[in-house]
Amino acid sequence: MKNKVGYSSFKNLIRFNFVRGMMFTFLLCMFFVKSAGFVRIQDNNYFHIFSGQDELGSVATLDEAMRLIAESRRELAGDSGELKFMDSDFRVEGENVLFGKTDAEITVKERIKAVLTGEDSDIMQHAYTIKVNEYSVNLASIDDVLKLLQAAIDKYDNEGKFVVNLVRDNNHEFAMLTTEVTEKEGAEETADIPRSGGIEDVFAELSRTSDLTGDMDFSDYDLGLKNMSFPDEIEIVETYLSSSKITSLETAIEDVVNEQETPSIYEVVAGDSLSEISMKVNLPMEQIIAMNPDKLDDVFSTIRPGDELVITVPEPKLSIERKEEIYSEEIYDAPVEYIDNDEWYTTQTLVHQQPSAGFRKVVADVTYLNDKVVDKEILKEEVLMEAVPKIVERGTKIPPTYIKPVSGGRLSSGFGGRKAPTKGATSYHKGVDWAVPKGTPVYASSGGVVAKAGWGGGYGYVIYINHADGRQTRYAHLSKIQVKVGQTVRQSEQIALSGSTGVSTGPHVHFEILINGSQVNPLKYIQ
């Protein structure tokens, strides 16, 4: 019995020492976990770094994870000092664990760098974006920005007098640069000439005053490039972009500086003719006609003030405005002199005097937008032969408008040549036809006076109406006429019913517009 008690006490002692040893080991783990492992007793006390689904390592704190990512990027930037950012899904996930083992810092950083430099990563790098109107381009450095802008200036600055500078744009709340073009230092410097004073200074002042009053000779002018600027607002911002979005300097110069075909709109003004517009925009008339097939048939097509024509001209994305002082001996034309007639329509003109070119010597300040002259100020002129101006009388009244003479209907025959005309009709159709049921109302296309109303041979029953702008409209193959000769009708007033009289194969309305006695395509005049 005594041995059993002693054995039991011994077992209890062993159990007690075992538990005590376990508790001691637990406490050691609590305090000595810096490198080997550690106990976690709070939320998110163990952090994993991921790229996509790949785990790159585990660290003790969130701050340590973010520090390792930032240091890896900084070390990749190397000597450039530029930070590189990646568009991948780097993320840090935390968890609460009892025991965990951290990875060595050098191991985690090497894994992060491997991802950053991998073929699938898209590294973001320091860059600059230049915005000109709606166009923008991204360049790798501020040096490339200056080279691009200077290339635009150098295209017109053969003397190398001007340089582009970047300045802070104070009109924006955030950091933004814009441009200014200045003359290079020393470009206009002249040596100081010592003067003896007295009478020489008096003569010098008299000479200067004489120059200001316009007595300068042609040889006294300092010809050449005077100033340059960018007429468009240019914005330059610092940013970080993926390398795939950054344009090389050579490509940027090709795209921004060189001329591109750019569509624009020219609005016709009073006194314009197609030939004058051609000279203004420096494009052949045939090319203007080809660009406006819906408005122009040929060089004799009518244009009115307010008409808009599509004009495609070569222009660079980055424009340059410059002023040059130029001497020239030139043939010149005097400005056209207009006599406004309020009783005439704008379609009516009469030339009272034909022009004759003159010849002169000129010094002028000429302002260019790229290669286009936008202003010319004559500083000195010597006319050797006076130009004779063209004198034109023109109308100021807006001419009448024209509408379709029937409601609905199918366009069954257009204006011009046709292969198989109705027997008895000509092969050249001088109007347009709308197929409509017999008895469909026919309306006056424009207000005017009825010149003819009755039988017209192949036209069948026909109506002619003379209009105030000198034009005439004709309505043929009618079944019933509802107006009389001499009657004044308003636009859209009913004048007849459609039919199939005369040379016709079915009920329709034949409609013509005549200008100066000749038929024109009505579809070009109907609103």
Give percent of the chain above pLDDT 70.
Answer: 79
> What does each C-alpha distance from 280 to 33, 268, 313, 384, 490 come to in angstroms?
85, 11, 12, 25, 40
Instruction: Find, among 319, 335, 338, the residue nearest to 378 by Cα.
Output: 335
HSE-up of 200 (CA within 13 Å, CB side)? 5
Dihedral of the CA atoms 489, 491, 496, 498 (nearest 10)?
Answer: 160
pLDDT at 10: 54
Q: What is the pLDDT of residues 282-337, one digit of tens each?
A: 788 888 888 888 888 887 777 878 888 888 877 788 899 999 999 999 998 999 99
How large is the C-alpha radius of gyration of the chain?
44
Domain ranges of the chain: 38-120, 122-186+220-259, 272-314, 323-399, 410-524
Q: Is the pTM of this model over 0.85?
A: no
Whether 525 contacts 415, CB under 8 Å: no
- With a cut of 80, say whether residue 205 has pLDDT above it: no
> What does each C-alpha distance from 315 to 181, 244, 254, 257, 361 come to in angstroms?
20, 27, 13, 9, 31
Domain 323-399 CATH (choose: 2.60.40, 1.10.287, 1.10.10, 2.20.230): 2.20.230
Question: Rounded distance, CA 387 to CA 285, Å?
Answer: 25
Whether 179 contacts 167, CB under 8 Å: yes
Instruction: Find, among 272, 279, 278, the residue nearest to 302 by Cα.
Output: 272
* Count of other CB atoms within 10 angstroms of residue 5: 9
Q: What is the pLDDT of residues 388-440, one digit of tens each?
A: 999 999 888 888 889 999 998 898 888 876 665 555 556 678 889 999 999 99
Tokens 């579809």, located at residue:
523
Question: Rounded distance, CA 6 to CA 4, Å?
Answer: 5
**DSSP secondary structure code for residue 226 in this structure:** E
Domain 410-524 fold: Glucose Permease (Domain IIA) (2.70.70)
Question: Rounded distance, CA 493 to CA 503, Å?
Answer: 26
